[in-house]
Amino acid sequence: MRHGKKFNHLGRQTAHRKSMLANMACSLIEHKRINTTVAKAKALKQFVEPMITKSKTDTTHNRRIVMAKLRQTGAVAELFRDVAPKIGDRPGGYTRIIKLGNRLGDNADMAMIELVDYNELYNADKAPKKSTRRSRRGGSKATTAPAAETKASNEEE
């Protein structure tokens, strides 16, 4: 029976899989987006999101937990220094997987996994819009401002 065996082993032994996910997570933190297969991207998402959640509170204990998983001091430092403040108000969902099609050599399903807050294309249309209130009385600011300027310039002459 296969009860409780949901974990994708990615065709690798345990040590190889953990090392591969740690290296991919370090690359994702360093470069903010990487291209890989869909299966590896889904496994990486489950691997890296709890560490990003840990990085929101910068304590020695959390740094040691993340360091035990990632094994690269530069990636841990960048995660706590640069990535964590940028995603501090987000309650989860720190990564996005975008499917790219199939790889030419072996027809594998490819995907791009990226950190959500670092993509300017997706975040540009979500910028807060200016809300202008228009009065029904007809006194718009655009028409009153030049009138005030002309009145001030007439008094100076």
Domains and CATH numbers, the chain: 14-124 (3.90.1030.10)
User: Per-residue pLDDT for the chain (157 aa), expressed as one digit of tens each?
Assistant: 989 888 899 999 999 999 999 999 999 999 999 999 999 999 999 999 999 999 999 999 999 999 999 999 999 999 999 999 998 899 999 999 999 999 999 999 999 999 999 888 877 665 555 666 666 776 655 555 555 555 555 555 5
Half-sphere exposure of 13 (CA within 13 A, CB side): 2
Q: Which two tokens stand for residue 93?
A: 């969902």
